[in-house]
A and B are shown apart, each in its own frame.
Chain A
């Protein structure tokens, strides 16, 4: 079953603009992770935020987590054409043993 629900399903922006993707989930979690997928193949880990953290940065990425609302957002600043990909949130449930992935957001950055 999918826990993370992401919106928007698809996002198209111009190079240089910021892209924001949101993820909502249902159960208590240990951490939430964001992954990127190019061309429908292997996923690459981007960033992990623990349940006791509210914000985390990595380069042009900023992730926030609101456990009271069971939601997270991924912000990509100053987007580039190379950021074009699908982005997935994945939750590490408190009483689970595996990551549960959302349906993903397709990001297209136009140059």
Chain B
């Protein structure tokens, strides 16, 4: 597609449930990034994929968070046993260098 697509747009889940967030990057973009933005805050880096290289997972806040990127394209961010502090907007971006192109994000609410 023409842009970065994220789904779902909004997700409400119960505390303790697992959630999967999807990102479909721009075709041909080898780099894919996940960021998290809590209410009124800046963007917190989570994870970075570049081609077939091992991902940079240095930003994942706990082992409840994981992400994969299949076939160098679509990425899924999984949060297990969600907590209320996981509530945030999760943003995906892709690039073929700089700058990034961001998706519209997934707003996750844990109740």
Binding site for B on A (CB under 8 A): 2, 4, 31, 33, 35, 40-45, 48, 88, 90, 92, 97-104
Contact = CB atoms under 8 A, between A and B. Distances in A.
A99 B105 CA distance: 17
Interface residues of B, number: 24
**B contact patch SS:** strand
Given A33-B99, A42-B104, 17 more contacts: A2-B44, A33-B98, A35-B99, A41-B105, A42-B91, A42-B102, A43-B43, A43-B93, A43-B100, A44-B102, A48-B99, A97-B56, A98-B48, A98-B56, A99-B33, A100-B45, A103-B42
B78 interface: no
A99 B103 CA distance: 16
Contacts, number: 55
Contacts of A48: 98-99
Given A48-B98, A98-B48, A43 B41 contact: no
B37 interface: yes
